[in-house]
Amino acid sequence: MKNIILTALLFSSTFVSAQQYLTREARLDFDAGSPLEDIEAFTESGSAVYDANTGKIGVQVLMTSFQFKRALMQEHFNENYVESEKYPKASFKGTYNEGSVAGGLTIHGITKEITVPARLDQEEGNYVLVTSFDITLADYEVKIPSAVANKISKTASIQVQATLKNTSR
């Protein structure tokens, strides 16, 4: 009897880990531009995890990995706006539930609860996460000096695209 319990437990432990999906190559885009200035950046080195058993989903990105078209803009982004030295990462930790994700989004050291629409489709044994949403920069205490206030959008649109692979493979 005990052997059966043990075997079942061992089996369930492998079963649990088999339901974890992960990528280190999530693509994130963001756009905080205005008619006066294009402010766009992307990264292809975000991390994303998903646990199919619990529905828990997480995305994390290094702020310095965002690539801008202009070197100076990238420097200002890190140096003056998101303060990457103090707050090197942005992350989302929450749960996926039928077409939306809900959880805490942390940017610039500030965590806000958000619920945004998201798609999480199973494709060839992988999970493909696609979501797009807007955030208000002031919510995360990203300060915009008045001199450039009309060049930078008050909101930033963020897109996430990730193909999460089973961790046991």
Residues that bind other proteins in the complex, under the rule CB under 8 A: 2, 5-6, 9-10, 12-13, 16-17, 20, 22, 24, 45, 47-49, 51, 53-54, 56, 58-60, 62, 64-65, 69-72, 74-76, 78-80, 83, 85-86, 91, 93, 145, 147-148, 167
Name which of 138 and 148 has its Cβ closer to other proteins: 148
Q: Are 128 and 162 in contact (CB under 8 A)?
A: yes
Partnered with residue 162 across adjacent β-strands are: 129
Structure tokens at 1: 């009897």
Q: Are 77 and 47 in contact (CB under 8 A)?
A: no
Rounded distance, CA 140 to CA 142, Å? 6
Least distance from C-beta 51 to other proteins, angstroms? 5
Least distance from C-beta 80 to other proteins, angstroms? 5
Name which of 78 and 155 has its Cβ closer to other proteins: 78
Least distance from C-beta 135 to other proteins, angstroms? 19
Name which of 134 and 143 has its Cβ closer to other proteins: 143
CA atoms within 13 A on the CB side of 38: 5
Rounded distance, CA 110 to CA 139, Å? 8
Least distance from C-beta 65 to other proteins, angstroms? 8
Name which of 6 and 110 has its Cβ closer to other proteins: 6
Q: Are 127 and 50 in contact (CB under 8 A)?
A: yes
